[in-house]
Homo-oligomer: A and B are copies of this chain.
Amino acid sequence: MSFMYQFARAAVTVDCVVFGLDDEDLKVLLIRRDLPPFEDKWALPGGFVRLEETLDEAARRELQEETSLERVFLEQLYTFGGIDRDPRERVITVAYYALVRLSDHRVQAATDARDAVWFAMDDLPPLAFDHDQILETAHQRLQGKVRYQPIGFELLPPKFTLTQLQKLYEIVLGRVLDKRNFRKKIQGMGILEELDEVEKDVAHRAARLYRFNKKEYGRMVKQGFHFEI
């Protein structure tokens, strides 16, 4: 079967940049391609959009098919339409991105890819197509986003220490933050609830536990509050 059109058409794909956070690293999920072009090379999970699915649906489907990852909140990042970005023909790709807690997601290569592996952001292999540019764009967007929205909190346990929170920001931002400034800022916002509990089972002196007050945050946002780290 084939499809005919009066004018030449680009193919449309989706690509997914899924960042994973653990206690030490910011990682990104890559697959090893099993078909040309760039056979055996690492790439972002993704593939062709079907006519009967939306772009969001295509991104979720491709991610699931290639890495078995599900229930990831993918957000549209940017559409890349460079003329020669695919050596075969004109392909326009709508890129998506997400940030997940690594321990929540087990990946496995599925039907469409040989391997699906988390790579540390500071130890990346060469990538197929223009995927290094897409990844760089996603990384910048993520770093901007965590600074202006308290999305980091959702990646911590419900109760966490200020050290854990700072460490999370340091991993995503890729730089060390001043402890005193960080604590002053974050505690000054009034969206952290100080609990009457401390860490358990730690070798060092047990630190105070906190909880993110989502309700209070929502209330403050309505009144014009802007989160900023």
Question: Which positions in A face B, CB cutoff 8 Å?
Answer: 1-12, 48-49, 51-56, 76, 78-79, 81-83, 90, 92, 94, 226, 228
Contact = CB atoms under 8 A, between A and B. Distances in A.
Contact of A76 (B79, B83, B228): B79
A94 B82 contact: no
Contact of A12 (B2, B10, B78, B226): B10
Given A11-B9, A55-B92, A49 B2 contact: no
Contacts of A2: 4-6
Contacts of A1: 6
A78 B81 contact: no
Nearest to A55: B81
B10 A49 contact: yes
Contact of A3 (B9, B51, B54, B94): B9
A58 B220 CA distance: 42
Contacts of A56: 81
B12 A3 contact: no
B53 A83 contact: yes
B79 A79 contact: yes
30 contacts: A1-B6, A2-B5, A2-B6, A3-B5, A3-B6, A3-B7, A3-B8, A3-B9, A4-B4, A4-B5, A5-B9, A5-B11, A8-B51, A9-B9, A9-B10, A9-B11, A9-B12, A10-B12, A49-B92, A51-B90, A52-B83, A54-B81, A54-B82, A55-B81, A55-B92, A76-B78, A76-B79, A79-B94, A81-B94, A226-B228
